[in-house]
């Protein structure tokens, strides 16, 4: 095991920062580091926080990290900015670091930007979560800046996904139908002291009823109170079918109002995952997706190298344009060596 990995497992934050930099840059040896750390991971709660820009995600995440620290828990935060590979990631990270947890080494903040490769960002995020988990962080929060498809893919790495919606955002609530509504386990109407908050909560309730396909019979209990009143019901949030019934929490993050209710909602969902067996099911699904993604990335890399060895794609395209061949035949030709190798491997094992 490398010295760097040993230092991560020994709890050295500088080593953790270096490993995550290696992961983000796909530096030589990063795979071996993640592989070595993987067997030490699996204990942390991973929380995804997403939603439309301007919903107050960074402020809420900062308050959540502080609340977990008050409980004696250690926290890792990965802030993702897919939209701006040059400035957004770093600016976001600096802004959070200057907030209430600045100087607390048991809250590890890291911003990650796309660096022009959105496809690899979800894999890099998963690897960074593995590093934080193996390091021993109790809670890991993955925060995304936007609310598009890339962010949906990224927050799928979390056990519990919280979706933030600003008040009075009818258009934003409608936008949530395009993917994010389906993945939310907890919904948060932040800035709930502003006009339109009640209407936004009502819109969300109606949409969630549509998602569940059953009317709200009122026996699920809702985690929803007026901001600051601290009201929360730790009632079992599962419906008659045993499915999770997503709560709607109202918060005013910059004042810290509703943060306890939000933490209660996250804890309830974690309990549900354990009781229902969904936690293991989710983990299996995530690993299956990760393996498929890595297979695609690596196979693509091998084929790109083979294509370069043969002079690039242009020559094949010329032949297709001239009707001397066709796309299927080109792919068959390029894949032939791989097929032959796999066939030989099978024969040698059977032989």
Q: If we measure between CA atoms, which residue out of 237, 241, 231, 224 comes closest to residue 268? A: 237
Distance CA 318, CA 320 (A): 5
Residue 142 contacts residue 44 (beta carbons within 8 Å): no
Q: How many other C-beta atoms lie within 10 A of the C-beta of residue 56?
A: 18
Angle, alpha carbons 240-263-222 (nearest 5°): 35
Instruction: Indicate the DSSP class of residue 324.
Output: S
Which domains are seen in the chain, by residue range? 40-276 (3.40.50.300), 290-350 (no CATH)
Q: What is the pLDDT of residue 64?
A: 95
pTM, two decimal places: 0.82
Angle, alpha carbons 94-98-104 (nearest 5°): 110
- pLDDT per position in the chain (351 positions), as tens? 699 999 999 999 999 999 999 998 889 999 999 999 999 999 999 999 988 777 888 899 999 999 999 999 999 999 887 655 444 444 444 444 445 555 566 889 888 875 545 456 778 899 999 999 999 999 999 998 765 666 677 777 899 999 988 887 556 566 565 567 778 899 999 888 888 888 888 888 888 887 655 433 332 333 333 333 333 333 345 544 468 999 999 999 889 899 999 999 999 999 999 999 999 999 999 899 899 989 998 999 999 998 999 899 999 999 999 999 999 999 999 999 889 999 999 988 876
User: How does DSSP assign 62-121, residue by residue?
Assistant: HHHHHHHHHTT--EEEEEEESS-TTTHHHHHHHHHHTSTTTT-TTEEEEEEE-TT-HHHH
Q: Which residue has the tokens 């957004």?
A: 88
Q: What is the pLDDT of residue 228?
A: 37
Residue 237 contacts residue 272 (beta carbons within 8 Å): yes
Q: Give me the half-sphere count of Cα atoms (radius 13 Å) on the Cβ side of residue 127.
A: 27
State in Å, rounded, how far the first CA of the chain is from the last one. Answer: 36
């Amino acid at each position: 095991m490398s010295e760097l990995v040993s230092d991560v497992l020994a709890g050295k934050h500088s080593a953790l920062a270096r490993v995550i930099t290696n992961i983000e840059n796909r530096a030589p040896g990063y795979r071996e580091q993640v592989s070595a750390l993987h067997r030490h991971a699996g204990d942390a709660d991973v929380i995804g926080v997403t939603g439309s820009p301007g919903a107050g995600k960074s402020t809420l995440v900062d308050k959540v990290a502080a609340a977990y620290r008050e409980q004696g828990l250690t926290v890792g935060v990965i802030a993702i900015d897919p939209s701006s590979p040059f400035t957004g990631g770093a600016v976001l990270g600096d802004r959070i670091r200057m907030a209430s947890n600045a100087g607390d080494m048991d809250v590890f903040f890291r911003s990650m930007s796309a660096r022009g490769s959105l496809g690899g960002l979800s894999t890099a995020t998963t690897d960074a979560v593995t590093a934080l988990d193996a390091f021993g962080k109790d809670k890991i929060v993955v925060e995304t800046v936007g609310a598009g498809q890339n962010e949906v893919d990224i927050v799928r790495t979390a056990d519990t996904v919280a979706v933030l919606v600003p008040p009075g955002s009818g258009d934003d609530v409608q936008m949530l139908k395009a993917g994010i509504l389906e993945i939310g386990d907890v919904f948060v109407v932040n800035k709930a002291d502003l006009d339109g908050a009640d209407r936004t909560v009502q819109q969300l309730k109606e949409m969630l009823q549509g998602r569940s396909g059953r009317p709200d019979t009122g026996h699920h209990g809702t985690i929803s109170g007026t901001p600051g009143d601290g009201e929360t019901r730790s009632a079992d949030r599962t419906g008659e079918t045993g499915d999770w019934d997503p709560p709607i929490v109202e918060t005013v993050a910059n004042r810290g109002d509703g943060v306890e209710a939000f933490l209660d909602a996250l804890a309830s969902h974690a309990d549900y995952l354990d009781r229902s067996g969904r936690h293991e099911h989710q983990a299996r699904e995530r690993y299956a997706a990760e393996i498929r993604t890595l297979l695609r990335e690596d196979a693509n890399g091998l084929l790109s190298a083979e294509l370069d060895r043969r002079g690039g794609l242009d020559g094949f395209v010329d032949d297709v344009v001239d009707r001397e061949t066709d796309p299927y035949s080109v792919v068959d030709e390029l894949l032939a060596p791989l097929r032959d190798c796999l066939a030989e491997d099978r024969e040698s094992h059977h032989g």
